Amino acid sequence: MNIHTLLLRLYPRHWRERYEEEFLVILTSHPFSWLEGIDIIRGAFDAHLHPSLGTADKSPLEKTKHMNASLRSSLLIIFCAYIGIILPGMGLQKMAEDAEFQRIASTSSPVGITFTLVIIGAISALLAVVIGGVPIVISAIRSALVRKRYELLVGLAVPVLVYMAFLNMTQLHITLFPQGSQPSTPEHILIGRTIFVCMLLIAAIASAGSVCFTVARSDVSEHALRFAVVPSTLATLSMVLIAMATILCGFATRASASQFFAGNHGIVDMSTSGTWLGISLAMIVTSVLAVIGLVRGLSVHSTLHKITA
């Protein structure tokens, strides 16, 4: 398998079925260059952003079916990005519970304003995900009942089961180690907090994965998918707001309270600046992922509108 074939594997399957042989003839007719390779990669990225490329020879019914599947996967990308931004957001909220940070936020307008924007973004993102997601979940449940695929209902129940298990394990830890009797050595505290963070990550991955698995295998109505485009747009913009406000909040905190920013007020008593940097990078990555999902979803929505017009 030569380099051209490997690079063309980056394109979506439906695109390769339509254009791969023609492109291979053209590409193998001259020596390979790195600039050409970069152009192929850019084209592959563009083909993923616009799933309608390569579907010109499909019937309207086949094209609609493909577009609905692409829209569903785009919405799931945004949902996963939202779950991804919640985790660093929880870390930021934990830092904000520090009494010193609260004092800084109350006395420094830039810090207070930027952190308020984070809260506004979080609330609007949550509302948007709920508004756009509930009709999809209802449609998935209806589909599972009609098709008698009850195992799909288990997938939707996983987030609730994981949440209950997480609360029970937390309560068990409090019962076994009541306040004042917990080991106070730095090593034990670090191990305990690390285990808690790992449990939280596992719970988030299991919950998001089960929901995506179920929705991807359910016959979700086109109406529910198209309805979710507007709330998904709001959710994505809210995530971008959260990421930008978090970055600005860090810079404002550094300018207003350099000693606090240089201290160890981060997660599990880590460096404040290091924790802020990690949270900011995580939010940037998840926001970019959400924007990619949104651009892809809007492209698909536009194509569906043209088909049904």
Instruction: Give the C-alpha separation, 35 to 44, whole Å.
Output: 14
Highest mean pLDDT among 6-15, 119-128, 180-189, 217-226: 119-128
Mean pLDDT confidence for 260-279? 82
pLDDT at 241: 97
What value does the mean pLDDT take over residues 274-284?
93
Q: How far is 26 from 264, CA to CA, in rounded Å?
A: 58
Instruction: Please state the rounded mean pLDDT for residues 194-209.
Output: 82
Listed by start position, the domains of the chain span 3-49, 69-308
- The reported pLDDT for the residue numbered 75 is 96
Is residue 37 predicted with pLDDT exceeding 70?
yes
223 φ, ψ (degrees, to nearest 5): -60, -45
Q: How far apart are CA 126 and CA 54, in angstroms?
A: 35
What pLDDT is stored for residue 268 in this prediction?
67
Tell me the residue type at 196.
F
- Alpha-carbon dihedral 263, 264, 270, 275, rounded to 10 degrees: -50
Distance CA 141, CA 122 (A): 27
* Predicted confidence (pLDDT) per residue in 45-86, tens digit: 998 898 887 777 778 888 888 899 999 999 999 999 999 999
Amino acid, single-letter form, for residue 143: S
Residues contacting 40, CB < 8 A, separation 6+: 4, 7, 8, 10, 27
User: What single letter denotes the amino acid at residue 221?
Assistant: S
Higher-pLDDT residue of 3, 233: 233
Distance separating alpha carbons of residues 201 and 206, to the nearest angstrom: 8
- CB distance 235 to 125 below 8 Å: yes
Residue 36 CA to residue 43 CA, distance in Å, equals 10
Query: Is the confidence at residue 114, as pLDDT, over 90?
Result: yes
Task: Name which residue leads in pLDDT, 190 or 263.
Answer: 263
* Nearest CA-CA partner of 5 in 24, 18, 19, 22: 24
pLDDT digits (tens, 9 = 90+) for 205-219: 888 889 898 898 888
**Are residues 44 and 7 in contact, defined by beta-carbon separation less than 8 angstroms?**
yes
Name 68's Cβ contacts closer than 8 Å, sequence gap at least 6: 220, 222, 225, 304
pTM: predicted TM-score of the whole model, two decimal places: 0.85
Kindly state the average pLDDT of the residues 142-167.
83
120 neighbors 63 (Cβ within 8 angstroms): no
Q: Is 13 helix (H, G, I), strand (E, B) or coil?
A: helix
Mean pLDDT of the chain, nearest integer:
86
Q: Which amino acid is at 71?
A: L
Are 121 and 239 in contact by the 8 Å Cβ rule? The answer is yes
Output the six-digit token pair for 201: 């990550």
Token pair belonging to 111 = 């810090």
